[in-house]
Amino acid sequence: MCMTKRASTVVAVLLGCLGATVSSAQTPAVVAAALKDLTSMCTDAGGKPLAADAVKRADLNADGKEDYVLDGGSVGCEGFASLYGDREKGVTVYVGDGKGGAKQAFSDMTYGMKIEGEGPAAKVWLTTSGAGCGKKQAADFASEAFCERAIAWNAKTQAFDYAPVSTVKMIE
């Protein structure tokens, strides 16, 4: 028993050093299945999925329960570096139920994502462009305007949606 605890601690420390998201809670089945679907494209091509940082955890709706963000932009494929492309990637947010389950509460294609803050103040910011930033669509990708836009919890619909355009942070 003592050896098992010691080995678990060593594994957790090593994963932490490698940048993996470590949590004592199991990943809900719906999130694990979505991650498996995302990485199967790499596996099917004969590559090795690199997804240690693909699932982020935070209390995003301030209910005291851990929520989950599946960030497609954090998935790579050893042996097929260009498999997932270099443009938009899927970001899906799941609301945890505190009992090991979760349900999807948001999904969109974005150019990146980050979680800002901790605890009930945690917020997801997504990198988007054009109309998502309150701007006209550019004539070509090189001329496009990009911004970070938060998503906000709607208690009535029990889902996340984009925060008002007035809150965007333009990327210069």
Distance, CA of 23 to CA of 62 (rounded, Å)? 18
Tokens 């601690």 identify what position?
Answer: 9
Give pTM, 2 decimals.
0.84
Asked if 83 and 55 touch (Cβ cutoff 8 Å), the reply is no
Q: Residue 87 has what pLDDT?
A: 86
Give me 143's structure tokens: 């001329």
45-55 average pLDDT score = 96
99-128 average pLDDT score = 96
Asked if 102 and 28 touch (Cβ cutoff 8 Å), the reply is yes
Which helix or strand (DSSP H or E) is residue 11 part of? helix 2-17
Give me 50's structure tokens: 């690199």
172 confidence band (pLDDT: 50, 70, 90) = confident
Is residue 114 classed as helix, strand or coil in its secondary structure?
Answer: strand
